Structure 1
Amino acid sequence: MNENKNISSQTATSPSERAGQRLCILGAGESGVGAAYLAQQQGYDVFVSDFGAIADKYKEQLQQWNICFEESGHTEAEILSAVEVVKSPGIPEKAPIIKKLREAGIPVISEIEFAGRYTDAKMICITGSNGKTTTTSLTYHILKNAGLNVGLAGNIGKSFAYQVATEKFDWYVLEISSFMLDDMYRFKADVAVLLNITPDHLDRYEYKLENYAASKYRITQNQTEADYFIYCADDAETIKVLDGKEIAAQQLPFSIEKQLVPGAYLDADNLIINVNKQHFQMSINELALQGKHNIYNSMASGIVAKVLELRNDTMRESMGNFRNIEHRLESVGKISGISFINDSKATNVNSTWYALESMTTDVVLILGGVDKGNDYSMLRDLVKQKVKAIVCLGKDNKRIHDAFEDEVEVIVNTNSAQEATQVAYHLASKGDTVLLSPACASFDLFKNYEDRGNQFKAAVREL
């Protein structure tokens, strides 16, 4: 996507050579503050700049480390004096400060690119429009249980850069978003996993799916014949791009529709993995993660485990006892025979499709928020089959009403998590499921999807 023509000149060699060189960090969230700490450790003159307010916990860390920072605006002279800039993935290319940096020819890179320079650990990198947090967490769970010295980072957990500065892991399992990949140049994944490509964040990609898909495929750049590329053979967009692309790494596909060797596939109710003469078999009924989408996630994680030649017993145990992450199809409990599930992390239509697909009861669906140009048509069949009522949780719900008024008899508007939960509870009957799976971002009524999920869980406890 982005051209960083000066990138090679900025790969610093030793702390003494870096002494006094200005490195600027844009954005003081988890990744930015971690990158600042690593940069300081590496001898740079570090300056952190955030256009918004910096959270107290990050401000305290920067003060504790004596790192210069500013908030609620950018001092351009300070930033444009940098030899290199590490950018938060949330800052778009159209931001004025990024345009000025590009014009000045100052390299702009991601935290992943920066931190990767200072570790010899092997990298397992997982991306995709949906399922990447679950797959990353499951892969980490399997590797850790197998006794590997492994870290978990990227879009999840503690900052990768901070861990590089403070830990000594042999392996990292990294959840990587398209925004991180856009500013990744020399970094290499030893094992790259691409789960799927569906429309998401298209406002950052000129509303062109092919631009977004190209961004996802940056996960394969710099790979060699000694590396691995794991992908879903059933995903149309993934295959469309792959057909016209040369990948140096060894390719390991997975599918629930056809048999693939090498790779992973289903044989009746058995998940089969065959990689490099390594064979694994497990009943899908024994997997901790249920639902069609989670068979894909388990296949991807299982292939990684077999590439690393982990023992089948360890894999079987880990894939059977894994507990999913918070806010992703998280069981909140049962009240009056009604199940409550928190899927607040479902911020796009595809994630909500996967959630509905895994439901085995009638559903009261809590939907809505900041609509990123959603196409709700793909949900219609599942809504018609499984959803008895929709509770809208957002400031503007017109598009949800327009999309589903012919499929569902009851669509109700609410303005808070507490109100939405109470309304959903009264609309549900014993044996039903109340599912918070919004298909939208959360920023109209909440700080983020975690805040939305936590408020929902608190409201359930109050019923």
Structure 2
Amino acid sequence: MRLVILGGGESGVGTAILGKKKGYDVFLSDFGMIKENYKEVLTLNGIKWEESKHTESKILNADVVMKSPGIPDKVEIVKKLKALSIPVISEIEFASQFTNAITIGITGSNGKTTTTMLTYHLLKSGGLNVGLAGNIGKSFAWQVADENYDVYVLELSSFQLDGIINYKPHIAIITNISPDHLDRYEYKYEKYINSKFRITKNQTADDYLIYDADDQEIKNWLLNNKTNAQLIPFSLLDKHEKGGFLNQNTMELYINEEEFTMDTKSIALEGKHNMKNAMAAASVAQLMRIRKQTIRESLSNFQGVEHRLEKVLKIQNVLYVNDSKATNVNATFFALDSMNTPTVWIVGGVDKGNDYSELMPLVREKVKAIICLGVDNKKIIDAFGNVVDVMVEVGSMNDAVRTALHLTEKGDTVLLSPACASFDLFENYEDRGRQFKQAVRNL
């Protein structure tokens, strides 16, 4: 069996290692450059690879192709593979056939990473032999090759879900759905929504789908489509017979005929959206029979995720918050919604077709000044120019943070929540977040 891998990043190299171990004839091809450490791993494992090109004669003879999630379907080589009816799958699809572990798959436009990390924290604290993979850390395929976990918590992007055929998680979570990555879905929102719901397409009556029952797009999809999974909703607005809801200051869950309650004040994560993330993760812990006391302790000592509403420092009674992971409008909506003090907002980057109008009421209420940090800020200036008193354009993170220092007074918050991708000025959102934290520490 010939396995060809497109993309020499974390998921590509992990798949190559697993494929080699399972006796495939493996070839890896990357149209860009492969990082040195990955080249070493491939060479050490005797895996053939190429970079800066796709040699068709070595690719179109594949029995199966694993495509990295970053490569769109419209790339020529992918079109040619599909025309030849060669299966093009994701790393998740490939790796899942070689493990008997229970998988918990988590997707959504926002909150995926926090919910994934929190779920992992709850299960690990509960004593399960659990791995963490997907969009986070070491690739799923690599772990299936090297480790022996009983359970995996997987963060799954829509791109990873696009490449599944038979994979099904035992427990699926959809945190929420809002427009994102529409450039990859022909700017058709329903295509992106359907992509997210692929997470439940192979589930059976023995499996579970945990979802945000307040989310209009999720509700619409469930009204018009069928899943075989058992439904477990969570909500801040309505009480459900099964699932999670808020009862004043108490989070209540009803799962497996059992009740779980916790005072929301003792949950470490702040903000309404994080209450939902906590309900989703606690629902998984309940289904996996983790002790209630352990769930409570774990929810109260969870540290949060880097670059997601991360409190950096307080300087002269001004709090600096790093929310660089907010790469779309909906994520920034959550961030602004959780601000309780006058806010200087650092925003901007590569716009993925953003509509800023939903932020308007929050900006009017909470934002005293906007700092635009992007190559092209016209859309942000057009949207908010008449709404805030002060609007400044800057070209570097240092300038953004220094400008913020001059615009704040005691009791204010400086929030980096860009609502955009980072590729105009930074390597990625992590690089952007780290530069922010460094600039704050240098004040």
Q: TM-score, normalised by structure 1?
A: 0.95
SS at match of 2:224: coil
Is 1:139 aligned to 2:139, yes or no? no
Tell me the equivalent position of 2:328. Answer: 348
Tell me the equivalent position of 1:18. Answer: none
Is 1:391 aligned to 2:391, yes or no? no
Is 1:362 aligned to 2:362, yes or no? no
* AA of the residue aligned to 1:272: E
Is 1:310 aligned to 2:290, yes or no? yes
* AA of the residue aligned to 1:291: G
SS at match of 1:371: coil
Is 1:36 aligned to 2:23, yes or no? no
* AA of the residue aligned to 1:245: N
Is 1:166 aligned to 2:146, yes or no? yes
* AA of the residue aligned to 1:261: E
CA distance in 2, matches of 1:422, 1:49: 44
Q: Map 1:272-287 to 2 at 5 A.
A: 272-287=252-267
Does structure 2 retain, via aligned residues, the 8 Å contact 1:261–1:275?
Answer: no
Does structure 2 retain, via aligned residues, the 8 Å contact 1:52–1:73?
Answer: yes
Farther-moved stretch of structure 1 (372-381 vs 276-285): 276-285
Q: Map 1:151-190 to 2 at 5 A.
A: 151-190=131-170
CA distance in 1, matches of 2:271, 2:367: 17
Out of 194, 204, 218, which is 2:174 matched to? 194
What displacement does 1:246 show?
A: 1.2
Tell me the equivalent position of 1:462. Answer: 442
* AA of the residue aligned to 2:66: V
CA distance in 2, matches of 1:127, 1:346: 16
SS at match of 1:97: helix
What displacement does 1:65 show?
A: 1.6
Out of 185, 188, 193, which is 1:205 matched to? 185
CA distance in 1, matches of 2:302, 2:94: 31
Tell me the equivalent position of 1:401. Answer: 381
SS at match of 1:188: coil
Is 1:125 aligned to 2:105, yes or no? yes
CA distance in 2, matches of 1:52, 1:447: 15
CA distance in 1, matches of 2:396, 2:41: 33
Post-superposition CA distance 1:389-409 (Å, at most 9, x none) = 111111000000001012111
* AA of the residue aligned to 1:113: E
Kindly tell me the number of residue pairs found equivalent between the two proteins. 443
| 4+ aligned runs moved over 4 Å, structure 1 | none
CA distance in 2, matches of 1:186, 1:91: 21
* AA of the residue aligned to 2:114: T
CA distance in 2, matches of 1:369, 1:113: 33
Post-superposition CA distance 1:362-399 (Å, at most 9, x none) = 11111000000000001111111111111111100000
CA distance in 1, matches of 2:36, 2:409: 43
Structure 2: stretches of 5+ with no match in the other structure: none
What displacement does 1:66 show?
A: 2.0
Post-superposition CA distance 1:94-126 (Å, at most 9, x none) = 111111111111110000000001000001100
Q: CA RMSD in A?
A: 0.8
Out of 216, 226, 229, which is 2:209 matched to? 229
What displacement does 1:334 show?
A: 1.1
Post-superposition CA distance 1:221-261 (Å, at most 9, x none) = 11111110111110000001110111111111011101111
Is 1:65 aligned to 2:65, yes or no? no
Q: Map 1:318-357 to 2 at 5 A.
A: 318-357=298-337
Does structure 2 retain, via aligned residues, the 8 Å contact 1:124–1:189?
Answer: yes
CA distance in 2, matches of 1:43, 1:121: 21
* AA of the residue aligned to 1:240: N
What displacement does 1:63 show?
A: 2.0
* AA of the residue aligned to 2:6: L
CA distance in 2, matches of 1:66, 1:411: 56
Q: TM-score, normalised by structure 2?
A: 0.99
Does structure 2 retain, via aligned residues, the 8 Å contact 1:347–1:441?
Answer: yes
How many percent of aligned residue pairs carry the same amino acid?
A: 59
Tell me the equivalent position of 1:81. Answer: 61
Tell me the equivalent position of 1:24. Answer: 4
CA distance in 1, matches of 2:82, 2:409: 57
Does structure 2 retain, via aligned residues, the 8 Å contact 1:344–1:436?
Answer: yes
CA distance in 2, matches of 1:371, 1:147: 43
Is 1:251 aligned to 2:231, yes or no? yes
* AA of the residue aligned to 1:140: Y
Does structure 2 retain, via aligned residues, the 8 Å contact 1:278–1:309?
Answer: no
Farther-moved stretch of structure 1 (423-432 vs 127-136): 423-432
Is 1:432 aligned to 2:401, yes or no? no
What displacement does 1:338 show?
A: 1.1
Tell me the equivalent position of 1:101. Answer: 81
Post-superposition CA distance 1:304-342 (Å, at most 9, x none) = 111112111000000000011111111111111111111
CA distance in 1, matches of 2:348, 2:44: 40
* AA of the residue aligned to 1:173: V
CA distance in 1, matches of 2:269, 2:82: 44
SS at match of 1:243: helix
Tell me the equivalent position of 1:299. Answer: 279
Structure 1: stretches of 5+ with no match in the other structure: 1-20
What displacement does 1:146 show?
A: 0.3
CA distance in 1, matches of 2:59, 2:377: 41
What displacement does 1:416 show?
A: 1.0
CA distance in 1, matches of 2:396, 2:155: 31
SS at match of 2:433: helix
CA distance in 2, matches of 1:422, 1:138: 34
CA distance in 2, matches of 1:58, 1:360: 45
What displacement does 1:60 show?
A: 2.0
Farther-moved stretch of structure 1 (92-101 vs 421-430): 421-430
* AA of the residue aligned to 1:431: G
Out of 390, 395, 399, which is 1:410 matched to? 390
CA distance in 2, matches of 1:30, 1:141: 23
SS at match of 1:229: strand
Post-superposition CA distance 1:176-197 (Å, at most 9, x none) = 0000000101001100111111
* AA of the residue aligned to 1:382: L
CA distance in 2, matches of 1:460, 1:106: 51
* AA of the residue aligned to 2:27: F
